[in-house]
Structure 1
Amino acid sequence: MKPESSEPRVVLVSELRDRSETRQQHARAARTGAEIRVGHGAYVARLDWDGLAERERYLLRLSAFARTRVRTPTFSHWSAAVIHGLPFIGPIPSELHVTVGRTSGGRSAREVVAHSTEVDAADLTVVSGLRCTSITRTVVDLAATTRRPDAVAAADHFLRTAAAIGGDGAAALLAAWMRAQPMRGHRRALDVIAFADGRAESPLESVSRVSIHAAGLAQPDLQTPFSDGAGRIGFVDFAWPSARVIGEADGDRKYLDAAVRGGRTAERVVLDEKIREDRLRALGWRVVRWRWSTARDQRTLAATLSAVGVPRANTPWRDCAAA
């Protein structure tokens, strides 16, 4: 977290110097709701806390935890994911995740999950004052330990951002995976790395792809460009050329987020989407749309796509990260 003047003041009772402030006063303020306890002996004013987004609150808790430890902690897994800005499918977990050495004797507590594993020096970094695993090691750790949709969304995001700056994200993930060995879940992590695809433009598309694969349907092409006599129509999320089916995963941000709308009203966005879809249909393609609830439900998404002609997979999917 960047130290800024607007950042909420965290009071650490271990650092109290003013005699007018006591540990009991802050504990009492937390009980009455005037302050929020963000860590052991760490408090922040309720008004400041209420003005923070979910991710900012979690980062504040990480900072408070780090400042109250005798030894500087190494945040990993979901905590490192928050630090690096990786996407989340659901809410940010409440637990703090730290990595400790295999021989350190570290144990998990009520709000802290301790992972007993070794981390190569190349996979350690400091972001805004917080020591954590590198983004590549974080993606590998998530791939080895968490649900496949969450892991793929994180890996897709990393590959997309790496490609945007000309990097080889797949090679970087494989290198981090090698340095992490031996690790529990190594095969699972390698499968996620192979499946990840930087062309996915949102977590919704990542989760959809995981469900499509799990349902045994044919592998789609991603971000396929389309044009007609009037010019470029645009890119579509999923396309099955053999079935002439286009799939679009629609999140709410497209319609509700002013930044995403690019100055257009929600009504204008809906109208533009209809015009775009009409042009695609005029080319002889069927267009099917789904939202988050369908993307998460493998059976429902499979039924939706099968109904418009998407075939079952008759060959294994290609490794996406290697493409």
Structure 2
Amino acid sequence: MTFPEPEPLIRAADLRSIGADLRSEPPGTLHRLRRGVYVATQAWEQAKREQRHRMMLTAVAATRQVEPVYSHVSAAVIWGIPVVGPHLDRVHLHTAGRSVARTKNGIVWHHDALGSDDVIEIGGMLVTSYERTLVDLARTLPFASAVAAIDHGIRPRRSPDGLGVIVVHQERLLEAVAELGRARGVRPARASIGFADLRSGSPGESISRANMHLLRFPAPDLQVAFPRDGGGKDVTDFDWPDHGAFGEFDGFGKYIKAEFTDGRSIAEIVAEEKARENRIRKRRPFGARWDWPIAMRPELLRRELMDAGLRPIA
């Protein structure tokens, strides 16, 4: 996952240097990131949530005398690790010598000890290492969001500089958590890392699977392929063979993003999806499909799975 470079920052000092007065600026033309640091409102409104967080990171760097070390969800954004849920409204920094983490002026400070290999530089920014970032996310995010991050993190992927491949094994993450002893968040970290599965195809699938677990539904098989008559195969996200049921998470991107559409129109994609579903239903007569709003709300996901004939395990 990559994002465009953040929009250029606009500083109050720069405006004053050309004789501009912030008090006379047309209302709404500037969005305040931090005191004395702005970005064009249009750029802010058009940016995705991760891009907005990158703008916040650069604003923090511009207002600090000492180069900060970005950690937790802020490090995740830099690494391209998905952060699902409302967790990007504050910038997370690591600092040494504080007895407790605290939040002030839109910054969350963390004071856990860092090893010599726990901080690296990416694009001129100091950030916790890939492994350390995943461990911190597992310790601090809610279970479902942590699972989405770890599922993504244990799949081999290109490094941000494009020069290599990052590989972090699930077992190594569990070892890293064990090395923390009785530190805060170790127990939930073990749970989310232990539950992670590199077969998960997307953050939406990860969130869905985590909420299925919390709702006590039977564990599904993942990415199950059904051979087609005449060749080829149909792959379903979730499969419950003992219950004759399958499940599909539908992110809107599969209908509009070029990497998924391959030049097909939305109507063509919908028709192909319907034909694929009909073929799968010959093997699994009960099926459920859902999108992000349902995946994020366990009570709605429960209803979809119940309608497909699945029942929570007592």
Could you state the TM-score of these two structures normalised by the residue count of structure 1?
0.82
Are the structure 2 counterparts of residues 71 and 104 from structure 1 closer, same or farther at C-alpha, using a change threshold of 3 Å? Answer: farther
Paired position in structure 2 for 1:79? 74
Deviation at 1:262, TM superposition (A): 1.4
In the TM superposition, what whole-angstrom CA distance separates every residue of 1:183-228 from its partner, at most 9, and x where no partner exists? 2010111111001111111111111111211111111100011103
CA distance in 2, matches of 1:40, 1:312: 51
Paired position in structure 2 for 1:317? none
Asked if the contact 2:245–2:308 (Cα under 8 Å) also holds between the matched residues in 1, the reply is yes
SS in 2 for 1:122: coil
Segment drifting more, 126-135 vs 41-50: 41-50
Asked if the contact 1:120–1:180 (Cα under 8 Å) also holds between the matched residues in 2, the reply is no
Segment drifting more, 103-112 vs 178-187: 103-112
Deviation at 1:294, TM superposition (A): 2.5
Paired position in structure 1 for 2:306? 306
Deviation at 1:124, TM superposition (A): 1.1
Asked if the contact 2:244–2:283 (Cα under 8 Å) also holds between the matched residues in 1, the reply is no
RMSD of aligned residue pairs (Cα, Å): 3.1
Deviation at 1:172, TM superposition (A): 3.5
> Which of 133, 142, 164 pairs up with 1:138?
133
For the pair 1:229 / 2:224, whether they are aligned, the reply is no
Q: More relative contact order in 1 or in 2 (CA 8 Å, sep 6+)?
A: 1
Asked if the contact 1:137–1:177 (Cα under 8 Å) also holds between the matched residues in 2, the reply is no
* AA of the residue aligned to 2:265: T
Asked if the contact 1:217–1:313 (Cα under 8 Å) also holds between the matched residues in 2, the reply is yes
Are the structure 2 counterparts of residues 284 and 194 from structure 1 closer, same or farther at C-alpha, using a change threshold of 3 Å? Answer: closer
* AA of the residue aligned to 1:79: S
CA distance in 2, matches of 1:174, 1:210: 18
CA distance in 1, matches of 2:101, 2:189: 24
- Runs (4+) of structure 1 exceeding 6 A deviation are none
Asked if the contact 1:123–1:176 (Cα under 8 Å) also holds between the matched residues in 2, the reply is no
Paired position in structure 2 for 1:148? 143
Alignment of 1:240-319 (within 5 A): 240-313=240-313
CA distance in 1, matches of 2:45, 2:143: 33
Gap regions ≥5 residues in structure 1: 315-323
Are the structure 2 counterparts of residues 9 and 297 from structure 1 closer, same or farther at C-alpha, using a change threshold of 3 Å? Answer: closer
Asked if the contact 1:37–1:43 (Cα under 8 Å) also holds between the matched residues in 2, the reply is yes
CA distance in 2, matches of 1:208, 1:51: 28
* Aligned length in residues: 307
Structure 1 vs Structure 2: percent identity of aligned residues?
34
CA distance in 2, matches of 1:106, 1:286: 49
Paired position in structure 1 for 2:107? 112
Could you state the TM-score of these two structures normalised by the residue count of structure 2?
0.84
* AA of the residue aligned to 2:278: D
Gap regions ≥5 residues in structure 2: 160-164
Segment drifting more, 26-35 vs 146-155: 26-35
Paired position in structure 2 for 1:98? 93
Paired position in structure 2 for 1:198? 198
Asked if the contact 1:163–1:198 (Cα under 8 Å) also holds between the matched residues in 2, the reply is no
Paired position in structure 1 for 2:9? 10
CA distance in 2, matches of 1:162, 1:222: 20
CA distance in 1, matches of 2:137, 2:278: 40
